[in-house]
Copies of this chain bind each other. A is one copy, B any other.
């Protein structure tokens, strides 16, 4: 008998019909002899509707009250699914975040889980109940309701799986699993059978939007095996798990791209201690996340500094940087919104040299100029002209044999 946590997103519980489908799948897992904990999101569209009501009142609603408002969405779905399971003859019981309890810090609307109580759920599972937990929400130690931020239900599911020492945390979504790259660009892209936490983190933060980054961090920290799979079929999906020796034999697991960044260069910056912090501090104060930063060696006491920011923050960032640039005596600011970040990810890189240079070579053969480079132990990212995005993804996917690897792992 295994303990299985299943998480269903807003689309999967968007109507009564779909909730009944979820109930049938949950019931099947239970009937196969497993203990089941279900974690649910709100009905799709519901959270936006509630946010709309709040915006009618004021542009920037109070965080505490905002969490009270939006956490009603999951409360509706967990009670409806429980009723549904009961009407099918199963014992079922819903749990709100504060009932579990899922204890978080008090950072309303972006709270972090600090502790999860397992006693009440354990007792219900042992007495044959299917337990249905509200995702996305918790409560701080003073009993104030909190939410974990958009997509937080993934994190709830993994955290509950960790606390209850579940055998697997199944994340049901509208795709079959994690792919070697975006199948819309490369039709030969293949589903990855298993992937390490670190690779998944790189994939998630680099643009593959299957799993919330924080949920993967949580899974890694507590060693939770996450199974990303489709809610529309019974196919095996992708296992996100601890690195094993199989994984290391694969040089590159996936190719990702991100068109949502823009580039800003500050020219002829006086190369003095403290200059970088004077440049970036104003951006931090405006909550602008800077991604890649490149500083070349200086010539004659001056250097060029280039970095990327999200498109949404570009205009604000440019304005700020132009002011700072004058203040620190730089020569000027250049910018480019038409860039893309292309990355290759794989734990195999650690033990194999030449992966980065192969990437550079492949891009160069296609006449694609590399504007910036950034590397970690298990990934290489290049900034290129945005118009080459699809081409770059295709040739890299091909060059690292990802179509083949996929075929094997099917």
A positions within 8 Å CB-CB of B: 16, 19-20, 50, 53-54, 56-58, 61-62, 64-66, 68-69, 71-72, 75-76, 78-80, 82-84, 86-87, 92-94, 96, 98-99, 143-145
- CA of A357 to CA of B35, assembled, Å: 71
Cross-chain contact B65 with A86 (CB below 8 angstroms): yes
Cross-chain contact B79 with A69 (CB below 8 angstroms): yes
Q: Can you list 7 A-B pairs, Cβ within 8 angstroms, ordered by A? A: A19-B57, A54-B79, A58-B86, A58-B87, A62-B86, A65-B92, A98-B143
Sorted nearest first, the 7 A-B pairs with minimum C-beta distance are: A69-B79, A58-B87, A68-B79, A72-B72, A65-B79, A65-B82, A61-B83
* A75 contact set on B, CB distance < 8 A: 68-69, 71-72, 75
Cross-chain contact B53 with A80 (CB below 8 angstroms): yes
A82-B62, A83-B62 are known contacts. Are A68 and B94 too (CB-CB below 8 A)?
yes
- CA of A57 to CA of B57, assembled, Å: 34
* A98 contact set on B, CB distance < 8 A: 98, 143
- CA of A104 to CA of B72, assembled, Å: 21
- 16 more CB-based (< 8 A) A-B contacts, given A58-B86, A64-B93, A98-B98: A16-B56, A16-B57, A20-B57, A53-B76, A53-B80, A57-B80, A57-B83, A57-B84, A62-B86, A64-B94, A65-B79, A66-B83, A68-B79, A69-B80, A72-B76, A98-B143
- CA of A11 to CA of B267, assembled, Å: 63
A72-B72, A76-B72 are known contacts. Are A83 and B65 too (CB-CB below 8 A)?
yes
- CA of A59 to CA of B78, assembled, Å: 18
* A143 contact set on B, CB distance < 8 A: 98-99
| This chain: copies in complex | 2
* A64 contact set on B, CB distance < 8 A: 93-94
* Interface SS of A by simple majority: helix
- CA of A216 to CA of B75, assembled, Å: 31
Cross-chain contact A69 with B62 (CB below 8 angstroms): no
* A68 contact set on B, CB distance < 8 A: 75, 78-79, 82, 94, 96
CB distance from A60 to the nearest CB of B (A): 9
CB distance from A17 to the nearest CB of B (A): 9
CB distance from A96 to the nearest CB of B (A): 7
* A79 contact set on B, CB distance < 8 A: 54, 65-66, 68-69
CB distance from A76 to the nearest CB of B (A): 6
Cross-chain contact B65 with A94 (CB below 8 angstroms): yes
Most buried by B among A57, A87, A96, A143: A57
CB distance from A100 to the nearest CB of B (A): 10
* A61 contact set on B, CB distance < 8 A: 83, 86-87
Q: Which residue of B lies closest to A70 (CB)?
A: B79
CB distance from A131 to the nearest CB of B (A): 13
* A19 contact set on B, CB distance < 8 A: 57
CB distance from A20 to the nearest CB of B (A): 7
* A20 contact set on B, CB distance < 8 A: 57
- CA of A141 to CA of B300, assembled, Å: 74
* A80 contact set on B, CB distance < 8 A: 53-54, 57, 65, 69
* A144 contact set on B, CB distance < 8 A: 99
CB distance from A85 to the nearest CB of B (A): 10
